[in-house]
Structure 1
Amino acid sequence: MESVERMPSGSRRDAAAEWLLSRINYERTNVVPYGERQLKLDRMRQFVTALGSPDTAAPIVHIAGTKGKGSTAAMVAAMLTASGCRTGVFSSPHLERLEERFAIDGIAATGEQLADLVETVRPVVDEFDRRAAESGEDGLTFFDISTAMALVYFAQQKCAAVVLEVGLGGRLDSTNVCLPAVSVITSISFDHTKQLGNTLASIAGEKAGIIKSGVPVVSGVIPDEPRDVIVQVAREHGARLIERGRDFDYIYHPSKKGDKFDYVVAGEVKLADVAIALTGEHQAANGAVALAVIDELIRQGWQIPESARREGLATMRLAGRIELVAGEPLVVLDTAHNAASAAALATTLAARCEVPRTLVIACSRDKDFKAIATALVPHFERILITEYQSNPRVVPRDELAAAFRAVASPTPSASIELIATPIEAWRRAIEVTPASGLIAIAGSFFLTAELRPVVLGQRAQLPST
């Protein structure tokens, strides 16, 4: 491929993205391996070192968890930014553009910056590829390279803090090369069971793999089975553990005018009536975890005033997390893709929206779509099952429909239709949903990514209050 550096601006970005996306990308495969043979953390450490050790350029908050890690990462970053701290966030997957994965103070990298980053890392990648070929191994993966690019970008841009969101699991994740100021585990529930294990304890063990010797850990995990694992791993590493339910908690105050919560520390309200931009009790729980992280940073000497904490949580934005889009009918975009996040969506809608509801859904092959169906079916009058077009991991719509019909069959109140494409499903949803009703788009990041630009092209996003 011609050097990215010599290409015109638009094609530079596109060539950079094409090269990056051509790498081994487990986000786009039906089988997602999870083992030391495929995910070589030692090689990742060598790769980052060869790039100048950008992981040491700024203190890092490292966040794992089954659900809530993206929201918590965004909340922590927003509070740091509001305090005047230049903050980089590496997140995954992206919704619309690769650049979203590399954000500073809430602003994604530009296409030019993406191209520059590829130009920076590519010679080192080529050398690692050469060594891998000589030993008959696969080269660095898409996620390896993306992680390293993020660290390089944040170092180049002189970020004073970095928030790294784990991609999958924790123990073997590419982000686990860092030595953070704080480690975070937001929650443990069932997801990626083929990779992480089919018990909460085994999943917790993989997530707890991010715990480092002497590094404090903030945990939002409540169930005893995974909590006990985290307690044990933290003890083995001499890592001080700050736990929700013991050291901190929240009291949720739902409102159609905007959710709030009280942040509770050691049984006493520390911050009352904290406004939160994201909707639902699960986001209040994430907000409490984020505030506990900030408390730990303050204990380490960071200056993060209460006004910045409140401003960050009240004004942050995160696409696709029960994202309300104005119009008739109202539209909710949500990336809920496992049983726990689907249940959170259903609970939030049930508490706030007593109107006729239509669900547009597609799911990925590696998800427990039967559990997702169980969580969602009782809350919708119409269910439109489709297949996203951008990724081969999609569940065929007839297979997904069978799971939804099996749940609906005892009380067949939900009408289920199969629609070939997301665009057609969106048009059908508009046709069948009354103006006073609601359309929810959920089940996968990939579905939300395909429909969000279409929906926002026709509607105006509701301001958070």
Structure 2
Amino acid sequence: MTEDTPAPDADAPLTPLVPDDPDAAALEAVAGDGDPGPLPDAPRGTSELARVYAALLARAGETMVEPRLDATRRACELLGDIHTAAPVITITGTNGKTSTARMVDALLTAHGLRVGRFTSPHLHRVTERISVDSAEVAEPVFVRIHDEIAPVLAVVDAELDAVGRARLTFFEALTVLAFAVFADAPVDVMVLEVGMGGEWDSTNVADAQVCGFSPVGFDHMAHLGPDLTAIATTKAGILDRTVDPSPAPDPVAVVAVQEPEAERALAAQIAARGVRAVWEDRDFAVVAREKAVDGQLLTARGAVGSYPDLFLPLHGAHQVHNAALALAICEQFLSDGEKPLDAETVAQGFSQVDSPGRAEILRSEPTILVDGAHNPAGARVLADTIAEAFDFREVVGVLAMFGDKDPHGVLEHVHRFADRVVVTEAVSPRAMPVDELAAAAAEWWDPDDVLRAEDLNAALMQAIDLALADGEPGIGIVVTGSLATVAEARTLLGRKDA
């Protein structure tokens, strides 16, 4: 492992994920990775949040997508056009959206703006998805705003019922709630991460001044299409104007490096709309980077400025490129791309960035790293990051996935860094059965190197025993496969902050 690996609670026991823990419910409601499930009884002190969360979970889950904007727009308009209450930055893509959104938030905050950020999924608490001033919305505020907008949600539900259409979904209602929180604060800017796709994602009811595109890859093909052209075309829908008159009639697209097919599709959509665009490696770029204690140093070239020696407290080349994308987005938003940002302020912003559940170290001796990679592109990035940033002499992988994901696409890259793997089941009705995942793993590892565990707690204990068996340091444990898996691991290891 690296010399800067932290040692949080190295000897602390695992914390069981008990049935009455509301965090168990959070594992059931991971956007794109999990379907909202039944809400367990909540401990004292969280009954109001549990009540509101139960009401949200009673709606159609996040994998039950309604490709529409009119329902969310109707609710926002009835609430006083809350989707236009502040300028908007929207970020779509396949991987890196959340990290990029958090970086944009940090940079704008460093520049003195009050930022409202809406991201998904959450790791432990639904309140994590909505933040103001870079902090998770307080439970009383979340509850109060939900109760204030609930009558309007009921009106829209009734209108949809009357014409035989599905009621507002979990994600649609949560999007409306986020807009309402931001309007109530109020905030100076809203940073919105698209939940799925772009064209018909509920966040797209807001017209973004700047539209960011992280790398587009394969995921959610049942909803987005079978190839990168279809997926990228749907994501380019965030460039559409849905408000009349639009508060941002001339958006700018800021585009990260893409696969050639995705780049061609995005370029075609941008040209068709006559939108101005800035592209990574043409208009902005990562100039240099090097490993540093607890992260890395980068020099970035923006569209209008140069920013040397920025400290980013995250590992992996992908995070440096996310940072370049975030910086270019902020240049366009704060100065219309006409003048550079203050380099010291940019450095201050990046120094405050974190990204829980993404190449995150939770414990040392042995080092336990968690990462929410759940598709081939995410697993490839994880493998690259481990190879570059860590000096493990051996790695034990711990893996739990969902049944609608591509196990071999993920295992191909997990196999690059894991010498052995312990497979188990995620806490979700959509979990891939352990026997199915073990059979897939047996095609990549020798049979003796594929172990099974009945749950993640048992898998972690088994992995720790393997890592400590010979008494020599340097064996790492990497937990991955979904963000639900990461969330459960964080809970078991006593980390519920996100």
TM-score, normalising length from structure 2? 0.84
Rounded to whole Å, the distance in 1 between the matches of 2:228 and 2:452 is: 34
CA gap 1:65/1:111 in 2 versus in 1, 3 angstroms? same
Note if 1:18 corresponds to 2:54. yes
| Equivalent-residue separation in structure 1 for 2:341 and 2:183 (angstroms) | 22
Q: 1:384 aligns with which of 406, 415, 422?
A: 422
Q: Is the 8 A contact 1:321 1:335 kept in 2?
A: yes
Q: How far 1:349 moved relative to its partner?
A: 0.6
CA contact (8 A) 2:362 2:490 kept: no
Match 1:310 to one of 347, 359, 366: 347
Gapped regions of structure 2 (runs ≥ 5) = 1-43, 242-249
Match of 1:204 among 212, 220, 232: 232
Change (3 A) 1:252 1:403: farther
Aligned residue number for residue 415 of structure 1: 449
Q: How does 1:42-53 map to 2 (within 5 A)?
A: 42-53=70-81
Name the aligned partner's letter for residue 375 of structure 2: N
By percentage of residues, which structure has more helix? 1
2:254 is aligned with 1:218: yes
Q: Does 1:449 align with 2:491?
A: no
Equivalent AA in structure 1 for residue 395 of structure 2: R
Q: Which has the higher contact order (CA 8 A, sep 6+)?
A: 2
1:436 is matched with 474
| 1:189 to 1:58, Cα distance in 2 relative to 1, 3 A | same
Rounded to whole Å, the distance in 1 between the matches of 2:339 and 2:50 is 39
* 1:352 CA drift (Å): 2.4
Residue 450 of structure 1 and its aligned partner are, at CA, apart by 1.1
CA deviations 1:387-419 (Å, max 9, x no partner) are 122x222111111122221123xxx39711111
Native 8 Å contact 2:359 2:370 kept in 1:
yes
The answer for the alignment partner of 1:86 in structure 2 is 114
Q: TM-score with structure 1 length normalisation? A: 0.90
For residues 424 and 226 of structure 1, what CA distance do their matches in structure 2 show?
Answer: 41
Match of 2:8 in 1: none
Contact persistence 2:284–2:324 (CA under 8 A): yes
Specify the alignment match of 1:165 in structure 2. 193
2: distance between equivalents of 1:128 and 1:179?
21
Report what 1:5 is aligned to. none
CA distance in 2: counterparts of 1:376 and 1:421, whole angstroms: 20
Give the deviation of 1:113 after TM superposition. Answer: 1.3
**Matching of residue 141 in structure 1 with residue 172 in structure 2:** no
Query: For residues 179-212 of structure 1, what are the alpha-carbon distances to aligned partners after superposition, in whole Å with 9 as ceiling and x for unaligned?
Result: 1110111111111112111211111111111113
Which one of the candidate residues 260, 264, 267 is aligned to 2:297?
Answer: 260
What is the distance in 2 between the residues matched to 1:55 and 1:201? 29
- Paired with 1:15 and 1:330, the residues of 2 have a C-alpha distance of 38
* Between 96-105 and 309-318, the greater mean CA deviation after superposition: 309-318
Q: State the Cα RMSD in Å.
A: 2.2
Structure 1 residues 303 and 348: CA distance shift in structure 2, 3 A = closer
Distance 2:258 2:68 in 1: 31
Contact 1:377 1:414 in 2 (8 A): no
2:232 maps to a residue whose letter is: A
Kept in 2, the 8 Å contact 1:212–1:239? The answer is no
SS of the residue aligned with 1:324? strand
For the pair 1:426 / 2:460, whether they are aligned, the reply is: yes
Query: How far is the alpha carbon of 1:138 from its aligned partner?
Result: 1.5
The C-alpha deviation readout for 1:245-282, integer Å capped at 9, x for no partner, is 2111113423152212221246x981122211221000
Greater Cα offset, 197-206 or 431-440: 431-440
Residue-pair matches, total? 440
Moved over 4 A (4+): 301-304
Cα distance in 2 for partners of 1:153, 1:265 equals: 32
